[in-house]
Structure 1
Amino acid sequence: MTEPLMSAPKPKETTTMARRRRIVAGLAAALAAGVTSVAPVGATPSPVNVGGGGATFLANMMDVCRALYNSNTASNPGKDVVTYASVGSGSGKSGFRTGTYDFGGTESAYGATETKPSNFVYVPLVGGPIAIGYRIDGTAPAGAQIKLTGELVAKIFAAQITNWNDPAIAAVNKATAVALKASVAANGVTVKSTVRGTNVTFTATMTPAALKRFKGKKITVTPVTDGTAGTPVMDAGARKSVTKLVILAEKTSYEVKAGTRVIGTLVPKAYTLGVNVTFPSLQIKVAYRQGNSGTTNNFANYLNKEFPTIWTKATSDAFTTAFPGTMPTDGTFQAAQGNDGVSNQVRDNNGTVTYAELSFLTERNISYAKVSNAVGKYVAPSPESSAKNLAAADVATDGVTTLNYKATDAASYPINAISYGLASTAASAKATAVKSYFTYFLNKCAPTQAAPTGYTALTGEILTKALAQVAKIGAG
């Protein structure tokens, strides 16, 4: 299924960088002026300076959370000061191991051949989509948001597709008719849709076996428009039969679930999505991460696991190591430092494509592609579509998360990463301060600040495991 024409995508918060800078600058000014809340009665511990460093992927989120924490005397009564150096996951892991940083930031675990620090834990802190950012001047219609299958992404970054007017790219960027599908059924659950005028009636029925199987679960019908899931229009407890009348949304499919199990996708009214996009004859240039990068590790892992005949090597923090075959030497592949560096490369150079955390693209007004997921839906990266994917991830007892590239949620964006904090379990004042900050990050900052900043707050099993890991920090 293809999607309707969109102008170059705008983030929900189009001034992410300005907003982040206002938070950081405003709080710094308040601290300088002595504007803080009243300190608790009694002696307070001496402030601890906590220096972290590592992944650029989470740097925008880290900037917001540490600024808020540094000024929050309720969560930070000792007035500890947290700093963070955005130097990349590889430097974060090595710097934490050598003691350069009190905590590290990374999207990749220590490799089998890497020297690991002793007595440390991984703490999942925040998630987010790895977006495919691009600049293509001259598409018609102008500003059309492009769509890419995962295979096309793999081939573009493997230098197997080298021009934006390649027929394979054009083939998926065409208008498509979405056929009527008035009924779906699975696992003893049947949901039918009946359209009358501008309304649609959904009727769900369940067999006795299904009633038993899904006892205590909800039957939900959720609209999905332009790859984005809305609020469920039906959210009913399991029963033999239930009916719901709602206004029919145009050019919308409806995902049906019993509990967490997908029953199918309804199309109450056939429609046409998208337009035919014409691409200019323009050489593709790839901006990739210089050095060791957790963003690269997660991106290359997706490519290798999903398209092993194209990306034939196991993932690595280094793009040049993970790259299949020989890296091009004609100047079409250019390395840049950090998520900000590759994003700047795209912004400034027509024909360039990269992989980066979403917030770095949105704050520069860089276009990004919709990417097909495991069920063939083209989905734009967002905090919400990333959350759909992370909900299907597997979390080990040590906090390291294995992402599920086969997630069946129709609104799931397929390429994501989890950012981890690295912290010591040895007892010390520094460890106590890190523990306090990570607790604040997970429980207070991320739930309110992640989505506006372009990230995905952790919930459910991942959050539970993350907090269990936090409890080990400084425990001795």
Structure 2
Amino acid sequence: MKLRRKFATVAALAAVASMAPVTSVNAGTSLGGGGASFLANMMDICAAQYNRNTAFNTDSDTVTYASVGSSTGRSGFANGTYKFGGSESAYTSGAPATLVYVPLVGGAIAIGYRVDGMTPANAQVRLTGELVAKIFAGQIKNWNDPEIAAANKATSVARKLTATKDGVTASVAKVGSKVNFTVKMNAAARAKYKNAKVVITRTALGGSPKVVLSAKPAATLPRSINFAKNTVYTVKAGKTTIGVLATEKVQDGVTITFPNLAIRVVSRSDGSGTTNNFANFLNKSYPAIWTKPTSDTFATAFPGTIPTDGSFQSARGNEGLSSYVRDNNGAITYAELSFLEERGVKAAAVQNPGKRYVAPSPVSSAVWFESAEVAANGLVTQNFANTAADAYPINAISYGLTSTAVSADNAAVKKFFNYFLTQCAPKNATGVGYTALQGAIKDKALAQVARISAG
């Protein structure tokens, strides 16, 4: 909880510095929410800012949030313990008749680890999705396993200066200390992508992508940036990847030597939407290994019986998982990225369906969600075959749980969720390891907000 209070303190200071006046004239409505720990760091920031911002919080309402896990959040909202809930997974039973799911924010489920004694010590571990499935199924038990070693050998990516697709030609050239891009689009391409953007991202291999160009379609789009070694450049038009370019042959990753160290898998002890989304990725992507349907309960989704030899441990909340790995050599877990970052826990680069190793980040998570579909009820279905080069493959969406029933409390929740989606998340999410919603998912989220307290 100490680390969560740090997020809230930063948020409160930002709110004080904003243009909105601060006052405590009216008591307002007390909105006590609870649920997913995945959401907690983002919720702390948004609640703290909203509570002090009278430009949006005109009734001086007070929002609080208890990090108790998605399962408890769903049951607590259904039985009236919480005025709104938070969850990354849907009700399977007991849903209120007036329920509204509101997508609030996304994020990467990062694979956090601690491996003392590996060389180079500061290298980022790389894991294929299959390795993740095997490790968390207990099929790989030691960090020096040959399959882990094979994924962590330096390879190379060939020089590629030009790519053409759908009437779009992208080229790159190194000139002195600069890298110069030219993107040319014929008339058909400009028409096809007129409502989209041309985006170029650069990625230090194994790292997180960074956007270096985002522009509306045009006949010619030039861009010049500083050269960096071991970097590839992904060019996209809308959701279409035109190509991955490199100005030189680059080294992909480093060769890591691992110690003889037992792997200790750490899973959630409580009902968890993070677990549900993680196990869903494993089951949908590697059904021969993870043979059971997903569940909020790790033991229920686990393919078999969890070992009792000490190689599997459990902890409560994203906070507990991250803290356990920080404190225990050999441990590995799954947690929302911000919880690992605030504890200094390293996160693995995971190979995506396009065969690229990508680090978890707000940007790589956003790329993944570009291919997701959102249903009429607001629930998001991920595309586990997404081959986008810069997409990180293990992610979740956090939903707010609320109601269409007309009431003062629900009207207050409606105002807060609108602020969360339109003000707080766009301004703060990336900086603290979350992914602000975009495109069709955000549009649907705002449509769901409009249903709150609307009868």
Same fold (TM over 0.5): yes
Task: Report the alpha carbon displacement of residue 225 of structure 1 after superposing the two structures with TM.
Answer: 2.2
Distance change in 2, residues 1:451/1:236 (3 Å): closer
Name the residue aligned to 2:395: 416
Q: Deviations over 1:115-148 (max 9, x none)?
A: 2111110001111110101111101111221111
The 3-state SS of whatever aligns with 1:51 is strand
Name the residue aligned to 2:338: 359
Task: Report the alpha carbon displacement of residue 269 of structure 1 after superposing the two structures with TM.
Answer: 1.1
Task: Report the alpha carbon displacement of residue 404 of structure 1 after superposing the two structures with TM.
Answer: 2.0
- Normalising by structure 2, we get a TM-score of 0.92
Distance change in 2, residues 1:153/1:436 (3 Å): same
Question: Which range moved further: 53-62 or 399-408?
Answer: 399-408
Distance change in 2, residues 1:334/1:205 (3 Å): same
Name the residue aligned to 1:229: 209
Task: Report the alpha carbon displacement of residue 445 of structure 1 after superposing the two structures with TM.
Answer: 1.2
Distance change in 2, residues 1:208/1:340 (3 Å): closer
Task: Report the alpha carbon displacement of residue 441 of structure 1 after superposing the two structures with TM.
Answer: 1.2
The 3-state SS of whatever aligns with 2:118 is coil
Contact 2:371 2:383 in 1 (8 A): yes
Q: Which letter maps to 1:232?
A: V
Select 1:278's aligned residue among 252, 257, 273.
Answer: 257
Question: Which range moved further: 56-65 or 267-276?
Answer: 267-276
Task: Report the alpha carbon displacement of residue 469 of structure 1 after superposing the two structures with TM.
Answer: 0.7
Contact 2:194 2:216 in 1 (8 A): no
- Structure of greater Rg: 1
Distance in 1 separating the partners of 2:422 and 2:222:
38
| 2:383 equivalent to 1:404 | yes
Distance change in 2, residues 1:118/1:257 (3 Å): same
Contact 1:218 1:238 in 2 (8 A): no
Name the residue aligned to 1:471: 450
Contact 1:39 1:73 in 2 (8 A): no
Distance change in 2, residues 1:386/1:214 (3 Å): closer
Q: Which letter maps to 1:237?
A: P
Distance change in 2, residues 1:362/1:234 (3 Å): closer
Distance in 2 separating the partners of 1:250 and 1:446:
33
Distance in 1 separating the partners of 2:272 and 2:326:
21
Task: Report the alpha carbon displacement of residue 244 of structure 1 after superposing the two structures with TM.
Answer: 5.8
Q: Which letter maps to 1:393?
A: A
Q: Deviations over 1:214-253 (max 9, x none)?
A: 55765554332233333335857343x6666665432221
Name the residue aligned to 1:73: 54
Distance in 2 separating the partners of 1:451 and 1:262:
23
Give matches, 1:185-200, under 5 Å: 185-200=164-179
Q: Which letter maps to 1:358?
A: L
Task: Report the alpha carbon displacement of residue 312 of structure 1 after superposing the two structures with TM.
Answer: 0.8
Name the residue aligned to 2:123: 144
Contact 1:16 1:359 in 2 (8 A): no
Amino-acid identity (%): 54
The 3-state SS of whatever aligns with 1:287 is strand
Task: Report the alpha carbon displacement of residue 377 of structure 1 after superposing the two structures with TM.
Answer: 1.3
Q: Which letter maps to 1:285?
A: R
Question: Which range moved further: 367-376 or 199-208?
Answer: 199-208
Contact 2:197 2:214 in 1 (8 A): no
Distance in 2 separating the partners of 1:470 and 1:208:
39
| 2:75 equivalent to 1:97 | no
Question: Which range moved further: 210-219 or 271-280?
Answer: 210-219
Question: Which range moved further: 171-180 or 147-156?
Answer: 171-180
Q: Which letter maps to 1:86?
A: S
Question: Which range moved further: 82-91 or 407-416?
Answer: 407-416
Name the residue aligned to 2:328: 349
Distance in 2 separating the partners of 1:81 and 1:211:
48
Name the residue aligned to 2:437: 458
Distance in 2 separating the partners of 1:18 and 1:81:
16
Contact 2:12 2:49 in 1 (8 A): no
Aligned length: 450
| 2:294 equivalent to 1:315 | yes
Task: Report the alpha carbon displacement of residue 81 of structure 1 after superposing the two structures with TM.
Answer: 1.5
Give matches, 1:41-440, under 5 Å: 47-111=28-92, 114-204=93-183, 210=189, 213-214=192-193, 219-226=198-205, 227-232=207-212, 235=215, 237-239=217-219, 247-440=226-419
Question: Which range moved further: 290-299 or 176-185?
Answer: 176-185
Contact 2:167 2:185 in 1 (8 A): yes
Distance change in 2, residues 1:196/1:426 (3 Å): closer
Contact 2:104 2:420 in 1 (8 A): yes
Distance in 1 separating the partners of 2:195 and 2:41:
40
The 3-state SS of whatever aligns with 1:37 is coil
Distance change in 2, residues 1:293/1:246 (3 Å): closer
The 3-state SS of whatever aligns with 2:344 is coil
Name the residue aligned to 1:23: 10
Task: Report the alpha carbon displacement of residue 332 of structure 1 after superposing the two structures with TM.
Answer: 1.0
The 3-state SS of whatever aligns with 2:451 is coil
Q: Which letter maps to 1:336?
A: A
Contact 2:34 2:82 in 1 (8 A): yes
Distance in 1 separating the partners of 2:13 and 2:196:
46
Distance change in 2, residues 1:141/1:438 (3 Å): same
Distance in 2 separating the partners of 1:205 and 1:25:
46
Task: Report the alpha carbon displacement of residue 268 of structure 1 after superposing the two structures with TM.
Answer: 2.2
Distance change in 2, residues 1:74/1:190 (3 Å): closer
Task: Report the alpha carbon displacement of residue 392 of structure 1 after superposing the two structures with TM.
Answer: 2.0
Question: Which range moved further: 230-239 or 371-380?
Answer: 230-239
Distance in 1 separating the partners of 2:445 and 2:213:
33
Distance in 2 separating the partners of 1:132 and 1:257:
27
- Normalising by structure 1, we get a TM-score of 0.88
Distance in 1 separating the partners of 2:452 and 2:386:
32
Q: Which letter maps to 1:312?
A: T
Distance in 2 separating the partners of 1:217 and 1:475:
33
